[in-house]
């Protein structure tokens, strides 16, 4: 596996691959890799000749007062994990390589970015759409892999690719969970053991919501009841939305950690 830090090197590495018609699979990540990321890499490895993983904590998708500085970073561990997953290229650029002095062009998603995460984190999806567009141009992948864990992000990216007619297949991968039900997330390391047991109300609530929905009841109400009954947790939102299909989505704050999760309703 090659670790590449510049746009020029990435292009130089991929040009011959594109020239010989090799399919590139791209997995965009912010690092602190876990089994959720690993499942995306494994899907990419199974379907492409060349697998590129990007590792970039994208400042543009963090709002003021969010956890950009505290976001977990462990490149040495990520390199080991990516290499073991059969990744060919780990693209880990410094911030100034992606946002050089004077950078001032943005990709602005529409209505999809105005509610749920978009409402809670103004500008977040503009940052996501901009970095994804840039990575798509740099790697020119045949396929790019995204987790359903971030269902609204997946919906934003699908819309972006459709609207700008990018020749990329967006592959959606199911949410990977710990055995206790908590969706894997790089931010889970922030949870103390006590907070973690509080956080388990989130997947429990979504399961209750899904069960209620299946029996013709109000899934949002059922999920909210579970969350409201859980001390030590603040509900940001619980909602049903069309995020690449009907989805029950929720965001909660436990201690100082904000967690999102969702279940598909179809």
Shortest reach from residue 132's CB to ligand AMP, in Å? 10
Integer CA distances (angstroms), 226 to 143, 201, 218, 220, in order: 38, 7, 13, 10
Angstrom distance (rounded) from CA 91 to CA 111:
31
User: Which of 118, 124, 154 is CA-nearest to residue 264?
Assistant: 154
| 147 near ligand AMP (CB under 6 A) | yes
| 184 near ligand AMP (CB under 6 A) | yes
Clarify whether 34 is annotated catalytic.
Answer: no
The structure tokens 């990540």 sit at: 29
Residue choice 4, 40, 166, 170 for contact with ligand AMP (CB under 6 A): 40
Return the range that interacts with ligand AMP (CB under 6 A); candidates 34-42, 85-93, 135-143, 212-220. Answer: 34-42
Shortest reach from residue 177's CB to ligand AMP, in Å? 7
Site string for ligand AMP, 3-32 (x = CB under 6 A): --------------------------xx--
Cβ neighbours of 102 (radius 10 Å): 6
Q: In angstroms, how far is the first alpha carbon of the chain from the final one? A: 39
Pairing of strands 246-254, 234-242: antiparallel
Return the range that interacts with ligand AMP (CB under 6 A); candidates 2-10, 116-124, 143-151, 228-236. Answer: 143-151
Instruction: Find the residue with minimal CB distance to ligand AMP.
Output: 147
Catalytic residue, candidates 34, 37, 124, 213: 37
Check: CB of residue 14 under 8 Å from CB of residue 142: no
- The b/e string for 158-185 (b: 16+ C-beta within 10 A; e otherwise) is bbbbeeeebebebbbbebbeeeeebbbb
Q: Which is nearer to ligand AMP, 36 or 219 (CB)?
A: 36
Residue choice 56, 62, 136, 146 for contact with ligand AMP (CB under 6 A): 146
| 118 near ligand AMP (CB under 6 A) | no
Return the range that interacts with ligand AMP (CB under 6 A); candidates 86-94, 132-140, 171-179, 222-230. Answer: 171-179
Q: Hey, which residues does 29 pair with through a beta bridge?
A: 55
Report residue 184 as tokens.
Answer: 């894997």
Q: What is the DSSP letter of 102?
A: T
| 173 near ligand AMP (CB under 6 A) | yes
Residue ranges that bind ligand AMP, judged by CB under 6 A: 29-30, 36-37, 39-40, 146-147, 149-150, 173, 175-176, 183-186
């Amino acid at each position: 596996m090659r670790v590449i830090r510049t746009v020029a090197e990435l292009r130089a590495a991929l040009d011959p691959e594109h020239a010989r018609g090799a399919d590139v699979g791209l997995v965009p990540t912010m690092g602190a890799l876990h089994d959720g990321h690993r499942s995306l890499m494994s899907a990419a490895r199974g379907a492409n000749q060349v697998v590129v993983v990007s590792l970039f904590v994208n400042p543009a998708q963090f709002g003021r007062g969010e956890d950009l500085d505290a976001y977990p970073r462990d490149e040495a561990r990520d390199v080991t994990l990516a290499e073991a997953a059969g990744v060919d290229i780990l693209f880990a650029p410094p911030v100034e390589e992606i946002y050089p002095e004077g950078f001032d062009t943005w990709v602005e998603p529409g209505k999809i970015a105005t509610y749920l995460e978009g409402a809670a984190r103004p500008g977040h999806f503009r940052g996501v759409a901009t970095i994804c567009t840039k990575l798509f141009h740099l790697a020119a992948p045949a396929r790019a892999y995204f987790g359903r864990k971030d269902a609204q992000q997946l919906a934003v990216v699908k819309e972006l690719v459709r609207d700008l007619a990018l020749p990329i297949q967006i592959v959606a991968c199911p949410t990977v969970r710990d055995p206790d039900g908590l969706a894997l997330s790089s931010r889970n390391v922030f949870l103390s053991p006590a907070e973690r047991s509080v956080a388990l109300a989130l997947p429990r609530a979504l399961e209750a919501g899904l069960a209620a929905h299946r029996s013709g009841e109000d899934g949002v109400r059922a999920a909210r009841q579970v969350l409201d009954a859980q001390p030590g947790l603040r509900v940001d939102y619980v909602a049903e939305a069309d995020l690449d299909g009907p989805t029950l989505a929720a965001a909660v704050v436990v201690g100082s950690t904000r967690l999102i999760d969702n279940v598909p309703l179809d």
